[in-house]
């Protein structure tokens, strides 16, 4: 293959210093062409198909495409520009077309079908059998049983979905980064913490402006909502945030209104083409939950347990505000602000005060110590690795014999041309190559406040939780012992189980023994005192029922949207979210709120008809952690059991079977309700 294209070189790690936008499309074109030719040759071979001479080769071809596309699509997320965006958009269409062609290749399907019934099939490993079963399911979901005309229709729909989802994400990114608020008079910044003001001053300086510049990036937006005494400023930034990429936003060219309907229409059409009543039914084909009734019962049950508590919490907030101010109603932009004031009054604690205990370097070291105590691995930074930005670091994970078993890039800070939020993604997948093992490599990405001057970056406790969450995903990817890329790490894991390891890790942010490993005042070295920790634990359940119903609002909206949508005539998206809010929400959203226009989880990510997965997996993670609460949070045997039954197994077995292996029983809801301060 060409040495002139770094994406086509057989690299140990992506060559980020040399990858350019112009490399992306030719690389994908070359790989798709190579894969198609190879599959055709394999199908035309007269040899009897075995795992080694056929199915493993197909696995390898898929992994080749993944390893080439992974750095290219990652750059689109973290270092976007017009050229990368164009190349990404063109390639998304090509990859979508290729995937559909493979999924509708009758000869290939028949090869899998015949092999699954061959006597040699039962001699395969559990992982190999799972890959074959998953492939047969995916063939059906790709329209293998459709007639030729319907298959063409399916291919067109898939292409359109890919294009619309990409456009949705790009509109959101552009709308978010286009809005800025410059403030010259410091009096208008009353209440805003110094760390946040310093970030706003640095942003202004970088743009050649005086004063302070605030943006809709989360490290800038959320502190204004929580701390700014200036209600007009809170309202202005709130309006900008909740109208992003809508018809009410700063520029309607980024309006996602029509795109949402196009995405939903394509999904509904695809589901019906495949014989499902709606897209929600289609999406459950590869999840733990099996029916729409099961999902809705689960969500409604949680809502029933939570709503009464949420009403009490909101009543408490209103009483506090109406008795201490001259306000007679709470606007949406008042709720975070006065909630923070009430938290401070009740618990004498705020996120900002806790920052001093969480300098980012210490938090990372603490995270590594906790991982070592649980699983016996060591993590060390590796120098001189090619990265896409100077702030990015690279680490290796070593087992107890000093051997590297996985690695990851860590990209923690927000900046222009990087999409918002936090995520883990796969760079390289674990797989066997001859007698060797290709180790897994992950991207761990957050959007924390970037370093200002020579001061250390101090995280809020919420940001510490976010980092632990993403690292939990990373461990699921990197600690796998499965040698076949199709089911190693998070591959093949049902979407509603994939959050288990990430939410499990969050629990260590609430344990004194864990915090004592890293939470120290960055100036004095003092640990968090027992008294302060008690306040933190008490504050943990502050408005937790309000948080619960907010997440349930998103999950029910998402699931109903995909369950009930048939065409634009049938459903008005705004009316549906208003209806869900009437049933579940305890606070009133303003009429101009266009949350759905920026709900990229379901319109651009993998959570369509799957946002319930966060709560579903939270039940699993809380129940799994309760075993550590019983045995000891660093109990080596329990850590080893969790490692061997959950993290190492990847997608090689059904997640419920793995959970029962670990817990000795099926999950129940009690631990989640206890952690949330909500009585069962």
pLDDT tens sequence across 92-135: 999 999 999 999 999 999 999 999 999 999 999 999 999 999 99
Q: Which of 584, 611, 638 is at the close of a domain?
A: 611
Coil, helix or strand for 269?
helix
pLDDT for 1 beyond 80: no
Give the model confidence (pLDDT) of 435-459 as tens digits. 899 999 999 999 999 988 888 999 9
Tell which of 539, 557, 573 closes a domain: 539
At 569 the pLDDT is 80
Q: Within 13 Å, how many C-alpha atoms sit on residue 583's CB side?
A: 17
- Segment 172-184 shows an average pLDDT of 97
- 469 vs 345, 592, 666, CA distance in Å? 29, 32, 23
pTM for this prediction: 0.94
Residue whose pair of structure tokens reads 């303003």 in the numeric block = 590
Same domain, 419 and 366: yes
Token pair, residue 491, equals 């591959």
Q: Which of 170, 470, 618, 648 is catalytic?
A: 470
Q: What is the pLDDT of residue 568?
A: 78
Predicted local confidence at residue 317, as pLDDT? 98
CATH code, domain carrying 512:
1.10.1370.40
Residues 377 and 518 in one domain: yes
**pLDDT value of position 160:** 97
Do 265 and 245 have their domain in common? no
Spatial separation of the C-alpha atoms in residues 213 and 180, rounded to whole Å: 7
Give the integer Cα–Cα distance in Å for 363 and 366: 5
The answer to whether the beta carbons of residues 263 and 168 sit under 8 Å apart is yes
Does residue 245 sit within a domain?
A: yes
CA distance 161 to 568: 16
Q: Are residue 226 and residue 304 in the same domain, yes or no? A: no
* Structural domains in the chain (count): 4
DSSP string over 509-571: GG-HHHHTTT-B-TTT-PBPPHHHHHHHHHHHTTTHHHHHHHHHHHHHHHHHHHHH-S-TTT-
Q: What pLDDT is recorded for position 453?
A: 84
Note whether 400 and 338 are same-domain residues.
no
**Is 59 a member of any domain?**
yes
User: What is the average per-residue pLDDT within 364-376?
Assistant: 98
36 pLDDT exceeds 60?
Answer: yes
In a domain, 240, yes or no: yes
One domain for residues 317 and 367: no
Q: Is the pLDDT of residue 136 over 70?
A: yes
* Pair (505, 381) in one structural domain: yes
Domain CATH for 71: 1.20.1050.40
Q: Please give the Cα distance from 96 to 133 (Å, whole number).
A: 22
Residues 427 and 392 in one domain: yes
| Contact in structure between 594 and 243 (CB atoms under 8 Å) | yes
Q: Cα separation of 538 and 475, whole Å? A: 29
Helices (H), 274-375: 279-283, 292-324, 335-347, 351-354, 360-375
Are both 342 and 449 inside the same structural domain?
Answer: no
- Has residue 61 been placed in a domain? yes
Is 237 domain-assigned?
yes
Question: Percent of the chain having pLDDT more than 90?
Answer: 94
Note down the domain range covering 239.
179-254
CATH number of the domain at 281, please: 1.10.1370.10
pLDDT for 3: 59
Residue 274: pLDDT above 50? yes
- 437/288 same-domain check: no
Beta bridge partners of 380: 396
Give the pLDDT band of residue 566 (cuts 50, 70, 90): confident
Model confidence at 353: pLDDT above 90: no
Within-domain flag for 670: no
Q: Provide mean pLDDT across the span 7-34.
A: 96
Res 679: pLDDT: 67
Residue 623 counted as domain residue: no
pLDDT confidence tier of residue 570, bands split at 50, 70 and 90: confident
**pLDDT band at residue 350 under the 50/70/90 scheme:** confident
Over residues 385-400, mean pLDDT? 97
Establish if 205 belongs to a structural domain. Answer: yes
Active site includes 470? yes
For residue 333, report the phi and psi dihedrals to the nearest 5 degrees: -80, -5
pLDDT, tens digit, for every residue of 589-634?
999 999 999 999 999 999 999 999 999 999 999 999 999 999 999 9
Same domain, 85 and 230: no
CA distance 140 to 126: 22
pLDDT averaged over the chain? 96
Name the domain boundary from 226, 254, 282. 254
Whether 453 and 566 share a structural domain: no
């Amino acid at each position: 293959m060409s040495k002139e294209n770094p994406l086509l070189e057989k690299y140990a790690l992506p060559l980020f210093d040399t990858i350019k936008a112009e490399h992306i499309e030719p690389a994908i074109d070359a790989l798709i062409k190579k894969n198609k030719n190879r599959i055709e040759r394999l199908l035309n071979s007269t040899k009897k198909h075995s795992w080694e001479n056929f199915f493993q080769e197909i696995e390898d071809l898929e992994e080749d495409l993944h390893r080439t596309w992974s750095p290219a699509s990652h750059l689109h997320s973290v270092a976007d520009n017009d050229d990368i965006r164009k190349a990404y958009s063109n390639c998304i269409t090509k990859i979508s077309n290729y995937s559909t062609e493979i999924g509708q290749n009758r000869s290939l399907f028949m090869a899998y079908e015949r092999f699954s019934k061959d006597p040699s099939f039962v001699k395969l490993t559990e992982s190999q059998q799972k890959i074959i079963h998953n492939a047969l399911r995916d063939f059906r979901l790709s329209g293998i049983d459709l007639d030729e005309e319907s298959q063409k229709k399916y291919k067109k729909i898939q292409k359109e979905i890919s294009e619309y989802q990409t456009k949705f994400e790009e509109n959101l990114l552009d709308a978010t980064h286009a809005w800025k608020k410059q403030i010259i008079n410091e009096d208008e910044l009353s209440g805003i913490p110094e760390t946040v003001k310093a970030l706003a001053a640095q942003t202004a300086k970088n743009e050649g402006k005086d004063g302070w510049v605030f943006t809709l990036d989360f490290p800038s937006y959320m502190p204004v909502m929580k701390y700014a005494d200036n209600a007009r400023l809170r309202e202005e930034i709130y309006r900008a945030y909740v109208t992003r990429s809508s018809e009410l936003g700063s520029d309607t060219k980024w309006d996602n209104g029509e795109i949402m309907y196009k995405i939903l229409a394509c999904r509904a059409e695809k589901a019906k083409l495949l014989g499902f009543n709606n897209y929600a039914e289609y999406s459950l084909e590869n999840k733990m939950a099996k029916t729409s009734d099961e999902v809705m019962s689960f969500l409604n049950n949680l809502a029933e347990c939570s709503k009464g508590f949420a009403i009490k919490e909101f009543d408490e907030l209103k009483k506090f505000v109406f008795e201490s101010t001259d306000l007679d109603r709470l606007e949406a932009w008042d709720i975070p602000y006065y909630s923070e004031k009430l938290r401070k009054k009740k618990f004498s604690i705020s996120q900002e005060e806790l920052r001093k205990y969480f300098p980012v370097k210490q938090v990372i070291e603490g995270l590594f110590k906790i991982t070592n105590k649980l699983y016996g691995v060591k993590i060390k930074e590796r120098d001189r690795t090619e990265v896409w930005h100077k702030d990015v670091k690279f680490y290796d994970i070593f087992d107890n014999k000093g051997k590297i078993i996985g690695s990851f890039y860590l990209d923690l800070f927000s900046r222009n041309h990087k999409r918002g939020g936090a995520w883990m993604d796969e760079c390289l997948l674990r797989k066997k190559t001859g007698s060797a093992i290709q180790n897994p490599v992950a991207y761990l990405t957050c959007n924390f406040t970037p370093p200002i001057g020579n001061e250390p970056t101090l995280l809020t406790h919420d940001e510490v939780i976010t980092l632990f969450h993403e690292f939990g995903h990373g461990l699921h990817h990197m600690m796998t012992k499965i040698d076949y890329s199709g089911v190693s790490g998070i591959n093949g894991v049902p979407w509603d189980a994939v959050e288990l390891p990430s939410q499990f890790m969050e629990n260590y942010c609430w344990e004194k023994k864990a915090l004592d490993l890293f939470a120290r005042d960055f100036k004095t070295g003092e640990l968090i005192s027992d008294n302060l920790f008690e306040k933190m634990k008490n504050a943990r359940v502050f408005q937790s029922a309000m948080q619960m119903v907010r997440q349930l609002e998103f999950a029910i909206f998402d699931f109903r949207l995909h369950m009930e949508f048939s065409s634009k005539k049938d459903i008005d998206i705004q009316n549906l979210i208003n209806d869900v809010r009437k049933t579940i929400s305890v606070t009133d959203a303003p009429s101009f709120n266009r949350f759905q226009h920026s709900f990229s989880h379901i319109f651009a990510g993998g959570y369509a008809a799957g946002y319930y997965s966060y709560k579903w997996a939270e039940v699993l993670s809380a129940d799994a952690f309760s075993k550590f609460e019983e045995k000891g949070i660093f109990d080596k045997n329990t850590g080893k059991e969790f490692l061997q039954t959950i993290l190492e197994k990847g997608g090689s077995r059904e997640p419920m079977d793995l959970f029962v292996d670990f817990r000795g029983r099926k999950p129940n809801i009690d631990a989640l309700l206890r952690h949330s301060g909500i009585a069962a």
